[in-house]
A = this chain, B = another copy of it.
Amino acid sequence: MSDRLKTTFCGIEFKNPVITASGTFGYGLEYAKYIDISKLGGISVKGISLKEVQGNPMPRIMETTSGMLNAIGLQNVGVERFITEKLPELRKHDTKIIVNFWGKTIEEYVEVARILDEADVDMLEMNISCPNIKEGGIAFGTDPKMTHEVTYNVKKVLKNKPLMVKLSPNVTNIKVYAQACEQAGADAISAINTLLGMSVNIHNRKPNIYNITGGLSGPAIKPVAIRMVHETFRTVKIPIMGIGGIIDWKDVVEFGLVGASAVQVGTANFIDPEIPLKIISDLDKYMAENNIGNFSELTGTVNLDR
């Protein structure tokens, strides 16, 4: 790959602007058997919490039209085991590691962040938007004051690592949340997390997901994600990682045009683990053919003249 894909985001140099999204790429190692993960711009690992979490009862996933619902319940090994068991293995691959993390209280958020700040990772991504967990999680991402407070408190304890805050799309006005993050000192924003959805099995009349509701992801949600990244870009100055329904290089360009400096690929990894690598090489080709020297040249250049 050429230099034109190199992407500086929050001062960190990514090989390319294509990062795999939290919760859709495990701890990265699951995919290492099937693709060369060192070719990725970066990996955002499954959301980490202070203690190990078992997640929700089954069923946890359901396909919908051009999308899927999930309510995994933020199952993860906890921050200690992540650092001792997963990270050393992951670090053998030459790619940037973003740690997606969450807590049930501000204290928990701060505590996990403090630990990760000292660990061998590149960047933190704070998930305040997961709609699956009932205790508190939802409140941070759908209340601007809480968004500000948790961001401010986490940012305060971070000495080494940039903080990206991941926004929930399940809000009336995402601009207010983007502003809250910027004002509280966030270094970047990632958007969007999943849309809250539901589906029912008409035969047994039960919800298809044990948790009743789940997060909707995949190509179905891309227009909502594009709109929200656009609104966010027009509101704040910190860089944005665009997420939601990305399947191919054209989607990445579209996110770039509305304001993303880098992107995350989520559900597409399930469809075919080769997709993020294919996106990277296709994007390189597109940029070469169109004389785009760097992905950053695209960022926010949608033409709004009429």
Contacts and interface: CB of A to CB of B under 8 A. Distances in A.
Contact of A219 (B66, B172, B224): B66
Nearest to A205: B303
A85 B44 CA distance: 59
Nearest to A206: B303
Interface in A40-57: 57
Contacts of A210: 306
B250 A202 contact: yes
Chain A interface, DSSP helix/strand/loop, else mixed: mixed
A128 B23 CA distance: 36
Number of identical protomers = 2
B224 A302 contact: no
Given A216-B223, A306-B57, A198 B69 contact: no
Nearest to A214: B223
B66 A220 contact: yes
A222 B64 CA distance: 8
16 contacts: A57-B306, A65-B66, A66-B67, A67-B220, A195-B195, A197-B224, A197-B226, A197-B227, A199-B254, A200-B257, A202-B250, A204-B303, A207-B302, A207-B304, A213-B227, A220-B221
Interface of A: 57, 64-67, 69, 142, 170-173, 195-200, 202, 204-207, 210, 212-213, 216, 219-224, 226-227, 230, 245, 250, 253-254, 257-258, 301-304, 306
